[in-house]
Amino acid sequence: MRTHAQLQLNARIAGFLYLIVILGGTFAQVFVRDRLVVPGDALATFHNIQSHPLLYRLGFVVELFYCACNVPLVLILYQIFKRVSRLAALMMFTFAMLANAVEIVSLLAHFLPLILLEQANTLRAFSADQLGALTYLSVQIFEHGFAASLVFFGFDCLTMAYLIVRSKFLPRIIGILLAVEGLGYLVNSFSLFLEPALQARIFPYFAATAIAEVALCLWLLIRGVDVRQWQASEHLNASHPHKHRRRPLPFNLFF
């Protein structure tokens, strides 16, 4: 019974952390960057950030915080899904951590406009137009870095979708929706790098697929996992059916 309670507690912690990531990402994108960044207008973007530095700074802090929340979230998901396939769960963990790392590095470009504003007195060699151009360039570098992180996150979604569909302790429909979302992230990011004009047209369609993450988040938070089906799950290693008991990985923290 203690294992059952611990499993459900961990599932709900994962759901709560996932909720932080979803709400944090929505705030940073919709209420900060979409509000302050004017597509194609560097000077207007610079003036918006100059007029709302605290909001722009808050967007950075919120995104950095939810990236930190991603770490325990992915560790818990690894512990839950490793009973289905340790290899696939480890792939999911690796893709998620790579996506998180790339996003964190890209955030430095998000913060650069604030440094330009703070150092305006020491950057007198740059005109307002030049500072605006640098600000807009830094935002674009962040956006492309974020798109690169979504490539790894797309593969993370596909791997998690496989684990959910293969298991029986979470609804398979969530796995199917997550697979569609993962493909959407891959198409969106590669379109941005290969044909930006095409990406601008298809992005609104793929943005709607985020319902899969919301569904998974709420299911973990409210329902948890089917404990009986989770207990019945086994490591699917056909080549070594009698070698399921292995030395736990260093981050075996939650069970």
Structural domain contains residue 251: no
Q: Which domain holds residue 119?
A: 2-232
pLDDT score for 208: 64
> Which residue ranges in the chain fall short of pLDDT 50?
235-255
Structural domain contains residue 239: no
Three-state DSSP at 167 gives coil
Structural domain contains residue 245: no
pTM of the model: 0.84
Structural domain contains residue 246: no
pLDDT score for 15: 95
Q: Which two tokens stand for residue 13?
A: 């912690």
Start-to-end CA distance of the chain, whole Å, equals: 13
pLDDT score for 59: 95
Query: Phi, psi (5° rounding) for residue 143?
Result: -60, -40
Q: pLDDT per residue over 71-112, tens digit each?
A: 999 999 999 999 899 999 999 999 999 999 999 999 999 999
Structural domain contains residue 98: yes
Query: Domain tally for the chain?
Result: 1
Structural domain contains residue 248: no
Structural domain contains residue 226: yes
Could you give the dihedral angle defined by the CA atoms of residues 83, 85, 90 and 93, in that order, rounded to the nearest 10 degrees? -70
For the residues of 141-181, what is the DSSP string, one character each?
Answer: HHHHHHHHHHHHHHHHHHHHHHHHHH-SSS-HHHHHHHHHH
Structural domain contains residue 253: no
